[in-house]
A and B are shown apart, each in its own frame.
Chain A
Amino acid sequence: MTLSRRNLLAGAAGSAALATTVARADDPAITELPDWSVYLGDGVDAAPYGVPSEYEADAIRRDVPWLTADPVSSVNFTPLHKLEGIITPNGLCFERHHSGVAQIDPTEHRLMINGLVDKPLVFTMEDIRRFPRENRIYFLECAANTGMEWRGAQLNGCQFTHGMVHCVQYTGVPLRYLLEEAGVRTNAKWIMPEGADASAMTRSIPLEKALDDCMVAFAMNGEALRPEQGYPLRIVVPGWEGNMWVKWLRRIEVGDEPWHHREETSKYTDLLESGKARRFTWEMDVKSVITNPSPQAPITHGKGHTVLSGIAWSGRGTVERVDVSIDGGRNWTTARIDGPSHTKALHRFYHEFDWDGSPLLLQSRAIDSEGWVQPTKDALRAMRGTESIYHNNSIQTWHVRKGGEVENVEVG
């Protein structure tokens, strides 16, 4: 990048000047002994289940109270600006419930498979754990993620604009094994997972997808599912709308037609300017966002070497490339993807540059293994209008001011 070469030289000259002219005061963090270097800390019995440092109290899920009428049918957001790598810690995975968090005794939980099968079956959790298991890392994104931004920049923070996504390692059983156990009839084309909570969530899923890569999962990131993520059992529908990943899974019906239930008619259909709505828009499109810097994570170190970091994902495969712009989309540089690249999982990207302290307009643009390219907001709105609610995968712009403060903006 030509810009950074020039900046690099200027920056190097600047810091050399600093080193020779400023005599630094001694750092008390080094010259004075802190308490933790003198006194004993807690013993191994203090925290049977560990929690983060008290200095990380900011790394929490947050909600937007005015979005919904009642917190039991609402959503909170993953603090993306506080996270590293590609795995979301279990306690920080965003939540969306329609009737609150069901608290289920696993010994009382059953999974039924009925409908177009030879043998309708009932499984206990113990039965499910006796099938061969698989471990898979997948992102889960709510189709309404970034939905508040269709009409224009609204929420100041990637936690709120993009925080309805998380990525964990699931342990579970390929759904295929359970369906084969029940014997799927030849005229079957669809399945319908159903939840055991008070919303009894349902979605129609094509049988082809169910037999391809769907799982029933009982663990996330190595431990049992959290109650808010569907303990003791949820269905995993890789790359597809989070709403389809039914939690507290109690039943799977096999059928020959879709059910057209509330969550695939009234909700999760994408209204276009023509007044017609797309339905069954299952795949989550290729998308990325810069998590640092971002409105909740301003640049505090002043000009000089700066690490830009972000996440990218696609419901259609892996992320092949992420381009980054610091001038509002005029010029782009390919970012560095670091860490594992799993299909339908988060990818972590970095762009290191020398900040000259002038205002920046940061953007990221992801391209997936199928060749789909993350669109600009203008391109998406020109095609779909502003009333789709769902599937807003457009390019986000952050405005970095001179002082390092960052805000959510649109450019034109």
Chain B
Amino acid sequence: MSKWAEPGVAALVIIALATPAFAEGYGLGRPATDAEIAAWDIDIRPDGQGLPEGQGTPLEGEEIYAGQCAVCHGDFGEGVDRWPILVGGFDTLTEDRPVKTIGSYWPFASTVWDYVHRAMPFGEAQSLSDDEVYAIVAYLLYMNDIIEDEEAVLSRETFADVEMPNADGFIPDDRPDMATLQQGEPCMRDCTDAPLKVIMRARVLDVTPEGE
């Protein structure tokens, strides 16, 4: 189908036909300048694409973290009250209450750089310098036993050396894992043996907000 809406009048038909729709597009928008792209293009990829110049060590990061992050995430990344936990949870992914952190769950270190830079500290996003982000990321990796030396320099060059413990922890979407009509029509009559009983009630847990 043509991109052009059906013209209502003859004059419009001529204009429409005279303009090659797909080749030229609509002629809308204007070119982005290099400085504009640089200002907004802040994303980082696992292969390092997007990482800026700069560097930092866990030791440098510790100080910035204490001043800007610990109030919510805790001195040791343990999470104050219900603010997110950032450290630990190793080997808990098969347990009853898994604890998902940078150390136990995140597959890529680049994600830490990207996220801290774009969204943290909470309420003051994009206020950290590139060196500060490198230092904080180094410190978060250090607290998670991923970087061992507190004076190790994290930079665009050394980033590729970081190995995340749960890098192999992910699989592609393999749904459908539930029965579809291909396995046959669902049961309509006498689908269970005995009449069913209530085995659990929401009110017992009593977690519904006030006023309900």
Contact = CB atoms under 8 A, between A and B. Distances in A.
Q: Do A and B bind each other?
A: yes
A122 B125 contact: no
Interface string B71-108: 01000000001111000000001100010101001111
27 contacts: A62-B212, A113-B32, A114-B32, A122-B36, A123-B28, A132-B5, A155-B207, A198-B123, A251-B40, A257-B47, A260-B46, A260-B111, A262-B111, A275-B93, A277-B171, A280-B172, A281-B173, A281-B175, A285-B175, A295-B212, A329-B196, A330-B190, A332-B189, A365-B186, A372-B180, A373-B186, A407-B203
A92 interface: no
Interface residues of B, number: 81
Contact of A265 (B31, B107, B178, B187): B107
Nearest to B41: A114
Among A154, A274, A399, the one with the most B-chain Cβ atoms within 10 Å of its Cβ is: A154
A373 B179 contact: yes
A406 B173 CA distance: 36
Contacts of B83: 69
Contacts of A200: 42, 118-119, 125-126
Among A273, A383, A387, the one with the most B-chain Cβ atoms within 10 Å of its Cβ is: A387
Interface of B: 3-5, 22, 25-26, 28-32, 36-37, 40-47, 72, 81-84, 93-94, 98, 100, 102, 105-108, 110-111, 114-115, 118-119, 122-123, 125-126, 169-182, 186-192, 195-203, 205, 207-209, 211-212
User: In terms of DSSP, what is the predominant structure of the interface of chain B?
Assistant: loop
Nearest to A379: B178
Given A156-B208, A199-B125, A261-B111, A274 B82 contact: no
A382 to B, nearest CB: 10
Contacts of B40: 112, 114, 194, 250-251
Contacts, number: 255
Contacts of B5: 132
Contacts of A372: 176, 178, 180-181
A331 B208 CA distance: 30
A192 B176 contact: no
A279 interface: yes
Interface of A: 62-66, 68-70, 73, 98-99, 112-115, 119-123, 127-128, 130-132, 152-157, 160, 177-178, 180-182, 192, 194, 198-200, 202, 250-251, 253, 255, 257, 259-262, 265-266, 269, 271, 273-283, 285, 295-296, 323, 327-332, 361, 365, 367, 370-373, 375, 379-380, 383-384, 387, 399, 407-412
B174 A278 contact: yes
